[in-house]
Amino acid sequence: MNDLLADAIFWAFAAGSVTTGLRVFRTDSMMRAAFYLLASFAGVGGILVLLGAEFLGMVLILMMAGEMLIMAIVMVMFMMNPAGLNPMWMVHQHRVAVAAGAGSFVLLASLPFLVKFPDRPAPQPEEATAELGTELLGDSMLVFQTAGVALLSTMIGAVVIANRSGRFGVAEEGSQEPTVEPGAGDQR
Amino acid sequence: MSEYAAAGVAIAAVGAALLAGVYFVAVFDRLIGALVEGRPLQWSRLLAEPVQSSALMAVQQRRTTERPDAPAWALAPALFAGLAAVALAMVPLDRDLVATDPATGFVVFSAAIAMVMIAVYLHGWSPNSAFALHGAYRYGAQALSFQIPFLLAMLATVLPAESLSIVEIVNAQESLWNVVRQPAGLPLYLVVGVAVSFWGPLNLPDGSDLAGGTSVEDSGLSRLLWKAARAAMLVSVAAMGAAAFLGGWWGPWLAGPVWVVLKTVALLGVLLASGHLLARVRIEQFVLVSWVVLIPLALLNVFVSGAFLL
């Protein structure tokens, strides 16, 4: 693949990622926000593949598909917004959010211009995926296993808390089904 | 042939294979249905009917709903069909005859299968319709349940090959096919394959108990595209099953590509027959069986396959 084509593909992915990333906050639906975020991540995955990190790029896309769907469904459940179909504002504390977002974008985007990068091109690894596997299960095994066990225990903890017969007794104790009759909720 | 021309030929070949596969699925499904029900075979009708109903759907008027998410609705079938094409592109016809053979072919195929849940969810969510949305949530539950056993069943085939490349996975089956080496692998894969393209007993998101589920509001061309994309996904799943478990191009007498096609047709027969022979299961049952039976079985399959290689 020649450099011009590689550049064109990079800019297409980069522009797509930034645009969809921006759309996450400009849309009025949780579902659309989740799927725009997925598209943004898919673009980053494409850039990773372009950089030679084939495995990481594809795994990013693979994991994000399930993750975004779960996130969207959980958001809909917590926000009491049936199916995420009702329009809603995706940003809280609007001015602070815009300032923080713009500030961190400028900061991160200015890094390539401020930092002096080493000027010696790294050799393209022959077997990038195999080297990654050796790294994960070799020198860095303790780090990754620790992170893995921590995540697993978090998941088990979340399941225990969310369970019906949870830590603080039966979950729906004292709760009432919402009524569909207008005004009836006020009398409770 | 230049690099770019070769890529163009490969893309065109995958597209043509998918189109042929979709037509074949339509005919084969009707054939199996007629055989199961003991109806007399009318070949001319069998061959013409898919074309006729496709033509009818293509020219039918299209309905719309109140305030749909039109771009997402239009995107869903295209995304689904595109994912089927990505999955099929990973399947080698012979050692040197493959659309593309990335070193991480297994991961690319898995990513395509994972993205199917986004396509189906978008398809059910975007029309702004109750039954379609029910179907979307059903597929969400279904997909999150089959994803892990699917990855584990496929992962076991990676172990003997010591590579994530699909060509290497097939290559490693020269002496012994994975279907023998890992007896639990193929049944697991087939259950999951039916679930991925929600066919037959696992047609929960588009089931008739939801009046058509995610496709209840589809009409005309978009209905045709969605049906075609589903059939295309079934072809890709069968072809990958033939490569990962039935030894791909390996086989006596015949040429490699012929074997791949024959094995794909055999697996398609099993997948399609499930729609005519088995009753639809409930989503709760499928989720329960996935987490309690299929995941432990798939883990056991990985452990046993790994232990044999040590």
- The 10s digit of each residue's pLDDT in A73-90 is 888 777 766 555 666 776
CA distance B268 to B289: 23
At residue A97 the predicted structure's pLDDT band, cuts being 50, 70 and 90, is confident
| ipTM score | 0.86
Q: What is the mean pLDDT of chain B?
A: 87
How far is it, in rounded angstroms, from Cα B291 to Cα B295?
6
With CA atoms as reference, the chain B residue closest to A128 would be B103
pLDDT in tens, B158-181: 888 888 888 888 888 878 887 778
Distance CA B276, CA B34 (A): 10
Q: Which residues of A touch B144 (CB under 8 A)?
A: 66, 69-70
- Say whether pLDDT at B217 is over 90: no
Cβ atoms of B280 and B203 within 8 Å: the answer is yes
The confidence band for B216, taking pLDDT boundaries of 50, 70 and 90, is confident
What are the CA-CA distances from residue B222 to residues B71, B123, B155, B196, B217 (Å)?
Answer: 12, 10, 35, 20, 10
Asked if A55 and A129 touch (Cβ cutoff 8 Å), the reply is: yes
Chains A, B: CB contacts under 8 A, how many?
59
Task: Kindly list the residues of chain A whose beta carbon comes within 8 Å of any beta carbon in chain B.
Answer: 1, 29, 31-32, 35, 38, 54-55, 58-59, 61-63, 65-66, 68-70, 73, 83-85, 127-129
Question: Is pLDDT larger for residue A77 or for residue B214?
Answer: B214
Q: B62 near B219, Cβ under 8 Å?
A: yes
The CA-based dihedral angle spanning residues A132, A136, A139, A143, taken in that order and rounded to the nearest 10 degrees = 140
Distance of alpha carbon B273 from alpha carbon B36, whole angstroms = 8
Instruction: Note whether B19 and B50 are within 8 A (CB).
Output: no
Half-sphere exposure of B101 (CA within 13 A, CB side): 16
Contact B102 A54 (CB under 8 A): yes
- Looking at the whole model, is its pTM more than 0.95? no
Residue B148 pLDDT greater than 60, yes or no:
yes
Between the alpha carbon of residue A17 and those of residues A176, B220, B229, the distances in Å are 44, 33, 26
Query: Which residues of chain A have a CB within 8 Å of the CB of B108?
Result: 58
Interface probe, candidates A29, A30, A50, A54, chain B, greatest B C-beta count within 10 A: A54
Q: Would you state the pLDDT for residue A188?
A: 45
C-alpha to C-alpha distance for B274 and B180, rounded to whole angstroms: 22
> Which pLDDT tens digit goes with each residue over B260-294?
899 999 999 999 998 888 888 888 888 999 989 99
pLDDT of residue B66: 84
pLDDT tens across A117-173, in order? 888 777 777 777 788 888 888 888 899 889 999 999 998 888 887 777 766 677 777
Select from B3, B90, B118, B291 the residue whose CB has the most chain A CBs within 10 Å, as the one to mutate to test that interface: B118
Please tell me the total count of domains within chain B.
Answer: 1
Report CA dihedral (B302, B305, B308, B310) to the nearest 10 degrees. -50
The one-letter amino acid at B230: R
Instruction: Search chain B and give the residue with CA nearest A86.
Output: B128
Q: Cβ contacts (< 8 Å) between A34 and chain B: which residues?
A: none
Q: Answer yes or no: do A127 and B117 touch at CB < 8 A.
A: no
pLDDT, average across residues B98-117: 87
- Cβ distance B117 to A66 less than 8 Å, yes or no, reads yes
The residue ranges of every structural domain in chain A are: 1-108, 127-170
What DSSP letter does each residue of B222-278 carry, written as one string? HHHHHHHHHHHHHHHHHHHHHHHTS-TT--SSS-HHHHHHHHHHHHHHHHHHHHHHS
Has residue A184 got a pLDDT over 70?
no
Residue B95 sits in which domain range? 3-309
Per-residue pLDDT band for A16 (boundaries 50, 70, 90) equals very high
pLDDT of residue A81: 61
Q: Identify which of B79, B17, B96, B97 has the alpha carbon closest to the alpha carbon of residue B264.
A: B17
CB contact under 8 A, B115 and A65: yes
